Chains A and B, each alone.
Chain A
C-alpha cells in the first residue's frame, strides 16, 4: 500500500489523476474502519489532512462555501446560525471524538444512504464542488450527486473540494430515528427546509432508499397547496406525510423493517414541517 501526502490542493488533484484508485482519507471514520476490519485493502491512501484549505469555510457572495474537511464540530460551533439543518444533523453524528474528525466531504465520498449530512444538503439545495486535474471544476447539485448505494457522481480522478449552501432563508429541521441519541447510524432520517422567498419547501430522506433523495411529489404538493400566510392545514400536513412516506423505497435490514421506515418517514415529515412552520409563523407574528 502507498501512502500519499499532498500538502496543496493541486498536489492532491495530481495524485488522484495519476492514481485514480487511491482512496482519499480525511477523518478516517469510514475508511479506517474498513481497513481495520480487512474489508478493504486499497492500493494507496490519499491523505488529505495536510491540505489545509479543505478545513476552512468562507462566505463568498452571500453563499457559504464549506471545505470538504471541515469537521462536524466546527459546523456545530460556527455555522449553526446560517446552516441550521446541517448543524442539527451534525450534532447527531457519532460521538464528540467522531465529530472532531468526520466531515461532510467524507460523508459525500462514502455516499452511504445512511449518512447524516445528506438529507439537510438535499433539503437546503446544496451544491457540491468537485474537481479533477484534467477536466477542472464541476458543480453538482446534491440531488444529482447520489447515484446508488455508496455510489456517487464523483469520477475516479475527482476529489470533493467544498459544499456550497445559501444561508437559511427560513427554518430548517432534521430528525433521525435510532436506538440512542448518540453513536447511532440512522434507521432513517428526514430533513426539511423552508424557502419562503420561493414559496417552496425542500425535503431530504435518509436511509430510506438506495440513495438519499428528495420527496419530489411532496415538495410539489406543498408548492401548490401551502398557504404561507395561514396556520398549517391538518389535511395538508397529513398528505405531506403520506407523500414523503411514498417517496421512500426502503429495505428490511438489521436496523429496521421497510414498513417501519416508511411509517417513520411520514411521522418525521409531519413533525419537522410542523416545527418549521411554527418557527416561521412565530417569527412573522413577532
Chain B
C-alpha cells in the first residue's frame, strides 16, 4: 500500500509498504531517516521515540498505515538548519552520549518534557525518561544534560 504523511515539515510518500510494517521501518528504510533507532521493537527501550501529531510515541508500535495523513517529527527535525536544538547541545556538552544508540529517543522525549514543563524536578525527569533505556551512561550525565537544557531554555524565555 501507499502511505503519505508529513515528516519534519515535508510531505513524504512511501510505496509498496507492507500492511504490518511499522512507522519506524518506513522512516528508516523507505524515507531515509535513520535517526530513530530500531532496538527492541516492542516499546520497551524508547530508542525509536518520535512525535506523532505532537505526541511522543514509539514508532515501532505505530502501524505504517496509521501514520497516513499525520504529522511526524523525528530527531532529524529538531535542529534549525545547522543550529542544534538546546536539548541536543546539552547532551553533547554534558557527555550524555556514549554509544549513541539511545540518544535520539532520549532527545525527543526530553524535548517533549521541556515543551510541557519549564523546570522539571529530578523526579519528573526520571518519570518522563522511564521508558528510554541507556546501557552505557548510568543515566547521571543524561540527567545533567536535561537539567542544563532546561536552564538554557528557561533563560531564553
Contact = CB atoms under 8 A, between A and B. Distances in A.
Nearest to A1: B19
A45 B42 CA distance: 18
A26 B44 CA distance: 18
Contacts of A101: 57-58, 61-62
Given A45-B19, A97-B46, A101-B57, A3 B65 contact: yes
Contacts, number: 88
B130 A96 contact: yes
Contact of B63 (A45, A96, A100, A182): A45
Interface of B: 1, 18-20, 22, 41-44, 46, 49, 55-58, 60-63, 65-66, 68, 109, 127-128, 130-132
B118 to A, nearest CB: 18
Contacts of A100: 55-57
- For the residues of A in contact with B, the DSSP-based class is loop
B43 A97 contact: yes
A28 B131 contact: no
A181 interface: yes
A2 B1 CA distance: 9
The 7 closest A-B pairs by CB, nearest first: A95-B131, A182-B130, A1-B19, A3-B19, A36-B41, A28-B61, A3-B65
Nearest to B58: A97
Contact of A95 (B20, B55, B130): B130
20 contacts: A27-B61, A28-B62, A28-B63, A28-B66, A31-B63, A32-B22, A32-B61, A32-B62, A32-B63, A33-B42, A35-B22, A45-B20, A45-B65, A95-B132, A96-B131, A97-B43, A98-B58, A98-B61, A101-B57, A183-B44
Given A35-B20, A98-B61, 8 more contacts: A28-B66, A36-B22, A45-B19, A49-B66, A95-B132, A97-B131, A98-B58, A100-B57
